[in-house]
Amino acid sequence: MKGKKIILGISGSIAACKAAMLIRTLIKKGAEVQVVITPAGKEFITPLSLATLSRRPVVSDFFSDRDGMWNSHVDLGLWADAMLIAPATASTIAKMAHGIADNMLITTYLSCKAPVFIAPAMDMDMFAHPSTQQNLDKLRSYGNHVIEPASGFLASGLEGKGRMSEPDVIVDVLDDFFTYRNTLQGKRIMITAGPTYEKIDPVRFVSNYSSGKMGFALAEACACRGADVTLIAGPTSLHTVHPAIRRMDVESADDMYDASIDAFTSCDLAILCAAVSDYKPLYQAKEKIKRDEQEQMTLSFVRNHDIAATLGAFREEHQTLVGFALETKDAIKQAKAKLIRKKLDVIVLNSLSGENACFGCDTNQVTLIDKSGQVTEIPLQSKQKVAEAIIDYLCKRNQ
């Protein structure tokens, strides 16, 4: 982060007391810090403390009290390499989402050309409220980066999610962003994610528990590093954030097969993270199958296309192919056999061990296995962190 110019926006939360450590850590990393604080923020930490630590006058009002000089939010927005809003209260988040420019922090945000990072801080019920979550989703859709709050003891006396992430965690997020943002510049990457639906009749289908979270996290991680990403997504309620992600929504395994074959021809790297149904009903009823008096119903299934094996068979030498596996018995042995059989470069073995590594969870732990048989463990952590670790591994492998 040496030489990076950071705007630190501070709003009115008890977590503003952590801003002193944030500034100190950013400056230790070599960054320049300009503080912009809301009037409410000054109730929790003094501008004098912030100016002393940042070695810059703190900006709070549109005009200087002393000489009437105008503080230009436009100039600030052009100066910065990144803007960090920490803490970001529910009110500030709402104003950012809806463009309510009634203080210097919001006008600076609206003028900022650089990436914006938001570290929410509020009580657990405020954070969980649908309006706050919708506002955060809206900010993500604009391309902003939300640094998820932690769970812990809150100022209200309650305990839950809403506590602003610790300064070292926040600085690590910014550091990683600047370190890795262009490592995949110019690369074309295809990622499959989510489940597939195999229709039985117009209202029923066969599927699995995949949420798509891991594949979406991989897509965001690649896009943040400069890649041009094609995300082929099965049915899921997840949304993409980064504008460099081209999303293609599909439903069945056949749909995903066709989209993958088409996209793979022009890509440098393919990551097959989707949980594609291995089989589909032999016949799809045109009308809803009615419940009759019989106690049993029999369905016949046929095998779906094997996307990984097909791509492995016709890929070119410059292309890297990464598959995913989930096994419940002899996991390493089965994954290695799948890697060889489908001509993959790397296989990512998912784990179902433990309640925090399961379908739909926000955390995961995986094992990476390459063609030489080398095994690399990635411990339990958020799926975003796992995605970053996988991409780090692939970047180092292809150097």
Rounded to a whole number of angstroms, the CA Rg of the chain reads: 24
Select which of 71, 144, 182, 208 is catalytic.
Answer: 208
Nearest to 173 by CA among 193, 152, 145, 139: 145
Task: Report which DSSP code applies to 309.
Answer: H
Cβ 285 vs Cβ 231: under 8 Å: no
d(CA 15, CA 324): 40
Give the DSSP H/E element, type plus range, for residue 172. helix 167-180
**Residue 311 in 3-state DSSP?**
helix
Rounded CA-CA distance 180/344 in Å is 25
User: What is the C-alpha separation between 175 and 399, in angstroms, rounded?
Assistant: 21
Strand order in the sheet with 82-88: 32-37, 5-10, 82-88, 116-120, 145-146
d(CA 135, CA 169): 23
- How many Cβ atoms sit within 10 Å of the Cβ of residue 372? 6
Quick check: 25 and 35 in contact, CB under 8 A? no
| C-alpha torsion 313→314→319→322, nearest 10 | -30
E-only strand ranges, the chain:
5-10, 32-37, 82-88, 116-120, 145-146, 150-153, 159-163, 188-193, 198-201, 204-206, 228-233, 245-249, 269-272, 279-281, 301-303, 320-326, 346-350, 363-370, 375-382
Tell me if residue 208 is catalytic: yes
Q: Which residue has the tokens 């022009």?
A: 266
Active site residues: 208
